[in-house]
């Protein structure tokens, strides 16, 4: 039986930050307590059953499974969530990935009584979007802006110059107390703020020239799942996963 929620604080948003400890990915659940509509941002395939169980326990109805970009390090849970819930999948038009709904810069989308705005923030990939939730002073930055870091720019059409411009023009211009929720953190930090990143981000506080130099010398290994994740994510992740199949990527 679904939990009864929202009896005291009618306008409070239902918000959960969920974690996948294999890929260090944060998945976000946002729900409208009144209408019961909810969305999920950046679901991970291996965690779909956990996330969908939570949606049901909270008495919510999933409207959109959204991605901030075509991920390279994990397979999105969008396809499987579609299969389980009948929700629509959402990604940017520029991502080159299949989805039911495509967003572009400044597009507004809603769940329940709430609106979010898509901000085109390319640089990590061409199709990176950040999702700005002005009403709750939140921004979901995907891999564009990480906490004290940023997405790498050495594959998937990455460009340090483009990423620098995206962050400075689209994220750092948001109200200073906007809370930044990234797609990953590798050090256990869960959120930041625009003010904090403007002051302490060791990459993006530098000049463009210094930033480009840093990004061109990160020398990171490619994500372990890249060869499976990108082709799967191009078709909205995997669908129809039977119960007896171990969906963990070896």
Catalytic residue among 69, 154, 177, 213: 69
Least distance to ligand L3IBWBLD, CB of residue 250, Å: 14
Distances (CA, A) of 77 to 47, 49, 111, 218, 241: 8, 9, 19, 29, 11
Q: Which of 143, 153, 166, 180 binds Fe ion (CB under 5 A)?
A: 143
74 given a catalytic annotation: yes
Distances (CA, A) of 217 to 12, 61, 150, 203, 241: 44, 45, 14, 12, 39
73 given a catalytic annotation: yes
Distances (CA, A) of 184 to 23, 28, 181, 203, 226: 8, 11, 9, 16, 16
Catalytic residue among 105, 124, 135, 154: 124
239 given a catalytic annotation: no
69 given a catalytic annotation: yes
User: What is the C-alpha to C-alpha distance for residues 70 and 82, in angstroms, rounded to an integer?
Assistant: 17
**Whether 142 contacts 42, CB under 8 Å:** yes
The site partner of 224 among ligand L3IBWBLD, Fe ion, none (C-beta below 5 to 8 Å per kind) is ligand L3IBWBLD
71 given a catalytic annotation: yes
The site partner of 184 among ligand L3IBWBLD, Fe ion, none (C-beta below 5 to 8 Å per kind) is ligand L3IBWBLD
Nearer to ligand L3IBWBLD, 2 or 218 (CB): 218
User: What is the C-alpha to C-alpha distance for residues 213 and 201, in angstroms, rounded to an integer?
Assistant: 15
User: What is the C-alpha to C-alpha distance for residues 147 and 97, in angstroms, rounded to an integer?
Assistant: 26
Least distance to Fe ion, CB of residue 50, Å: 21
The site partner of 37 among Fe ion, ligand L3IBWBLD, none (C-beta below 5 to 8 Å per kind) is none
Nearer to Fe ion, 14 or 249 (CB): 249
**Whether 116 contacts 133, CB under 8 Å:** yes
Nearer to ligand L3IBWBLD, 85 or 130 (CB): 130
Which residues are tagged catalytic?
69, 71, 73-74, 124, 143, 184
């Amino acid at each position: 039986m679904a939990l009864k929620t929202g009896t005291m604080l009618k306008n409070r948003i239902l918000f959960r930050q969920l974690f996948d400890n294999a890929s260090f990915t944060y998945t976000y659940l946002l729900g409208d307590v009144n209408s019961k509509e909810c969305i999920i941002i950046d679901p991970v395939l291996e965690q779909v059953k956990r996330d969908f169980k939570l949606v049901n326990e909270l008495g919510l109805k999933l409207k959109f499974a959204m991605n901030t970009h075509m991920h390279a390090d994990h397979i999105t849970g969008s396809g499987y969530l579609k299969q389980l819930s009948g929700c629509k999948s959402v990604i940017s038009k520029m991502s080159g990935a299949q989805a039911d709904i495509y967003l572009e810069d400044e597009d507004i989308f809603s769940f329940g009584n709430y609106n979010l705005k898509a901000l085109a923030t390319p640089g990590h990939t061409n199709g990176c979007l950040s999702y700005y939730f002005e009403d709750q002073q939140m921004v979901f930055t995907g891999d564009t802006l990480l906490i004290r870091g940023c997405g790498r720019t050495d594959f998937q059409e990455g460009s340090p110059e483009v990423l620098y411009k995206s962050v400075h023009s689209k994220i750092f211009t948001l109200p200073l107390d906007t809370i930044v929720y990234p797609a990953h953190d590798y050090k256990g930090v869960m959120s930041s703020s625009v003010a904090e990143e403007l002051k302490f981000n060791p990459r993006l506080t530098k000049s463009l020239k210094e930033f480009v130099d840093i990004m061109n010398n990160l020398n990171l290994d490619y994500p372990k799942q890249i060869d499976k994740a990108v082709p799967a994510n191009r078709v909205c992740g995997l669908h129809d996963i039977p119960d007896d199949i171990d969906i963990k990527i070896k």
